Structure 1
Amino acid sequence: MSEPTDLDALRRLMPPPTAGGSTIDWTALDASWGKPFPPDYRRYMELYGAGALRNYLSIGLPEPKVPLERAPRDGMVIETATAEADWETEEKTPELEGTSPVLITWGADANADMLCWDASDDDPARWPVVVYQRNGSLWSRYDCGMVEFLVRNCRAEWPENPLGCEFLWGVSEVTFQAR
Structure 2
Amino acid sequence: MTTTDDLIRLCPPPTGVPVVDWPAVEQSLGMPLPADYKQLADAYGPGSFCGFLHLYHPLAPTEWVDLTGPMPATIRRQLQHDHDTGTHAVPYDPRQLFAIGVTDNGEYLFWIQEPEHAPGQWDIAVNEARGPRWYTHKGGIADFLLAVLTGREQVPLFPRDLLDHGISFTASPAARSHPQPHQNQPSGRPVSTDEIRTWARANGYEVNDRGRIPATITDAWKQAHST
Q: Same fold (TM over 0.5)?
A: yes
Q: State the aligned residue count.
A: 162
The answer to whether structure 1 residue 79 and structure 2 residue 74 are counterparts is: no
Give 1:100 shift.
4.4
Cα deviation code 1:113-155 (max 9, x no counterpart): 0111122421111111121121653233222100100011122
Question: Out of 135, 146, 169, which is 1:176 matched to?
Answer: 169
| 1:131–1:139 contact (8 Å) kept in structure 2 | yes
How many percent identity over aligned positions? 27
Letter in 2 for 1:75: D
SS in 2 for 1:105: strand
Name the structure 1 match of 2:186: none
What TM-score, normalized by structure 2, do the two folds share?
0.62
The answer to whether structure 1 residue 123 and structure 2 residue 118 are counterparts is: yes
Larger CA Rg, structure 1 vs 2? 2
Name the structure 2 match of 1:68: none
| 2:101–2:109 contact (8 Å) kept in structure 1 | yes
Name the structure 2 match of 1:5: 2
| 1:111–1:165 contact (8 Å) kept in structure 2 | no
Question: Out of 34, 40, 56, which is 2:36 matched to?
Answer: 40
Question: In structure 2, do the counterparts of structure 1 residues 100 and 74 end up closer, same or farther at CA, with 3 Å as the change threshold?
Answer: closer
Question: Out of 110, 113, 117, which is 2:107 matched to?
Answer: 113
Question: Out of 89, 94, 106, which is 1:91 matched to?
Answer: 89
| 2:96–2:113 contact (8 Å) kept in structure 1 | yes
| 2:52–2:104 contact (8 Å) kept in structure 1 | yes
Q: Could you tell which deviates more after superposition, 28-37 or 130-139?
A: 130-139
Question: Out of 132, 142, 147, which is 2:142 matched to?
Answer: 147
| 1:13–1:172 contact (8 Å) kept in structure 2 | no
Name the structure 2 match of 1:66: none
RMSD: 2.5
The answer to whether structure 1 residue 31 and structure 2 residue 24 are counterparts is: no
Cα deviation code 1:90-133 (max 9, x no counterpart): 234xxx35x34422222111001011112242111111112112
Unmatched 5+ stretches in structure 2: 83-87, 173-227
Unmatched 5+ stretches in structure 1: 64-70
Letter in 2 for 1:12: R
